[in-house]
A and B are shown apart, each in its own frame.
Chain A
Amino acid sequence: MARAVTTQHKTIATAAAWIVALLIFFPILYTIITSFKSEQEAIQGFALIPSGTMESYAEVQAQSGYFKFFLNSVILSVGSTVLALLVAVPAAWSMAFSPTKRTKDILMWMLSTKMMPAVAVLFPIYLIFRDTGLLDSRIGLTIMLMLINLPIVVWMLYTYFREIPGEILEAARMDGASLWNEIIHVLTPMAVPGIASTMLLNIILAWNEAFWTIRLTTTNAAPLTAFISSFSSPQGLFWAKLSAASTLAIAPILIMGWFSQKQLVRGLTFGAVK
């Protein structure tokens, strides 16, 4: 009896959850479906079964050189994340292992720099970039994205490092390990999972950053965000091509995102929700 009720409950909950989930996912699903339609098909009204043509993908690459933008996205997101890690790992490390009274204040202050609206500093940054020749350069944008994500990187690493038990350090020290040995053989292996999750989440954030990447680039350094935005002024009907370009732009990060769900919650809530 109790079991029958449970199964019935589960069936209803499953049906409801799947309907809501598919509704939320629908815009993405429909974009993927439309990318396999011809332009003619794409505007003929609602249809879930595409003809399966790949012509939109071919055209997107041929007309706009999709691959160049893709490469820029990879370089910018990975580059800025690695750079941020290089700066943030020592900082988070010292905050986690030799905290002072001011550690918490410094962390809060770092977070508060994220509150500054980007537009407020758009023009000064634009001028600085122009005068230093960094406008539309990969280096300039990499530095920019690094600065934007640095507070989150420090925070995330801090919450991970804080969980490494201090006793292990003491034990290693007792055994006469030098500081260097301690770092290489004891701490690094324990810190790697946290660093990896931080890296994953920040690549996603940098990949999707859509203010500076659009405003500070024109052609050379333009990543996928800028590429997609160029579709916003319609020249004729281009639904299928737009869908193909969109699918290509979100696919890699969507897949990475699926694998990083758990870390995402931790990372974006600064360890407050686990």
Chain B
Amino acid sequence: MATQQTRSLARFMMAPSVILLFVWMIVPLAFTLWFSFLQYNPLNPIRDGFVGFSNYRLFYDNPAFFAAILNTLTIVVAVLLITIIGGILLALLLDQPIWGQGIVRILVISPFFVMPPVAALVWKNMIMHPQYGVFADIARFFGAQPIDWFGQHPLTAVIIIVAWQWLPFATLILLTSLQSLDGEQKEAAEMDGAGFISRFIYLTLPHMSRAITVVILIQTIFLLSIYAEILVTTNGGPGYASTNLPFLVYQKALLEFKIGQASAGGVIAVILANIVAFFAMRAVGKNLDK
């Protein structure tokens, strides 16, 4: 049925999206790649020029670099673990017959709609503040010393905030997948005398595997580039204790104006994201083709 005319029409309809995304992907990236081989300081341009790989060398020699990569991966892995395990447990709970399910769902999903700066500020000031926060109130109630979250456990604090933002997302998707599980299959398994644990391992978990892969893919995309939460709470510190790669690049570019080094960091961030994305997309692709 597809005539030459409809085919060229289809191409014409697709062109704006494809061209826009292509330009958006290629042009800035080409600039970044070019800048990464330059000494380039907008405030002090005297020594600007081509420097080869020395920006990568400098970035690599910077002790903050390994800290940042480690922090980036720690955030991704920790948040994924918390949200997926927590999300499965919550989904199992919410899948039970309960009164007021609609309202419970609304309460659970809400943090996902809170913009990152608000989430970070609320946790920083109202919940985790060592003097006025709710955690401090609770600690004092039990006669304990309140914890200085952002001074002593900055990365943990960031992970808690980010996990709070993403737990609803994981829960909602896993719950949706759980609810599409065939009731008859469940009943049959129950009839056969399968206990809760074995039903979960042999029936529920395989059924949810596709949803879990999707959660991992989507969250990884967003978790690799956590920014506002760090900016608002710890500003990357103390030292580099809570600096991730995006935050380090931002510091180099817009605070220190070392564009060359920042660009080298950006290129490394792209490579890192691509390595992670390669595995994530492959896993998802496999799962989606089923």
Contacts and interface: CB of A to CB of B under 8 A. Distances in A.
A21 B228 contact: no
A249 B116 CA distance: 11
A229 B232 contact: yes
Contacts of A111: 281
A250 B231 contact: no
Interface in A97-140: 97-98, 100, 106, 108, 110-128
Contacts of A93: 13
B204 interface: no
Contact of B24 (A113, A234, A242, A250): A113
A117 B122 contact: no
Interface string A3-16: 00010011001101
B214 A121 contact: no
**Chain B binding surface SS class:** helix
A264 B172 contact: yes
B186 interface: no
Contacts of B111: 24-25, 27-28
B110 A25 contact: yes
Contacts of B17: 87-88, 90-91, 110, 150, 154
Interface in B99-117: 99-101, 103-117
A250 B122 CA distance: 12
A124 B99 contact: no
B116 A210 contact: yes
A228 interface: yes
Contacts of A115: 221, 273-274, 277
Interface in B80-109: 90, 93-94, 96-101, 103-109
A13 B273 contact: no
B14 A210 contact: no
Nearest to A95: B14
Contacts of A231: 121
Interface string B11-52: 101101110110011011101100100000000000000000
Max chain B CB contacts within 10 Å: which of A34, A151, A243, A269? Answer: A269
B162 interface: no
How many chain B residues sit at the interface, stated as a range, is 35 or more
Interface string A231-274: 11010010100110010011001101110010011001110111
Interface in A131-172: 147, 150-151, 154
B116 A225 contact: yes
Contacts of A114: 221
B211 A21 contact: no
B14 A147 contact: no
B269 A208 contact: no
A272 B215 CA distance: 11
Contact of B16 (A46, A91, A265): A91
4 closest residue pairs by CB, A with B: A120-B266, A124-B31, A121-B28, A90-B13
Given A46-B134, A98-B6, A210-B227, 19 more contacts: A13-B96, A13-B97, A14-B99, A87-B20, A93-B13, A98-B2, A98-B7, A115-B274, A116-B25, A117-B224, A117-B246, A207-B115, A229-B232, A232-B231, A242-B121, A250-B114, A257-B109, A265-B173, A273-B173
12 contacts: A24-B164, A27-B126, A31-B126, A46-B134, A91-B17, A120-B32, A128-B28, A210-B228, A214-B228, A243-B126, A257-B110, A272-B211
Interface of B: 2, 6-7, 9-11, 13-14, 16-18, 20-21, 24-25, 27-29, 31-32, 35, 90, 93-94, 96-101, 103-127, 132, 134, 137-138, 164, 167-169, 172-173, 176-177, 180, 210-211, 214, 218, 221, 224-225, 227-228, 231-233, 245-247, 249-250, 253-254, 259, 262-263, 265-267, 269-270, 273-274, 277, 281, 284-285, 287-288
